[in-house]
Amino acid sequence: MPGRPADYVRQLRDWKAGVDVAGLDAAGLGTYARACGWTLARAHARSGEPAEISGYLGSSDRFDGAIADFAETYADQNESDYQTFLKQVENGRIAATTGV
């Protein structure tokens, strides 16, 4: 609902920031990745009221099955993308440091 102080703070203060990941060492990249993951998880955890979401989804397991199917398909795609990446590294099209 417009008019709440939090809405104005959010509009007046853009807290978005970025990091030049090319300049990070392995430890810094790990720290940055954890911070990004935590931030994303926190945003998703606050994205809705559990009771409202549960009421919307109803009592069937249709949504559960859809999420499980999506997760499996997404994992398969990640694996395929990684294999493609490894082939590109092997062929010299992408530079990568291994054994870090």
pLDDT, position 7: 44
**What span, in angstroms and rounded, lies between the C-alpha atoms of 88 and 82?**
10
Q: pLDDT (tens digit, 9 = 90+) per residue, 52-78?
A: 888 888 899 999 999 999 999 999 999
* pTM exceeds cut of 0.85: no
Gyration radius of the chain over CA positions? 20
Taking the C-alpha atoms of residue 74 and residue 23, their distance in angstroms, rounded to an integer, is 30
pLDDT tens, position by position, 7-52: 444 445 556 777 888 899 999 999 999 998 998 888 887 777 888 8
Residue 14: the pLDDT is: 59
Name the DSSP class of 60.
S
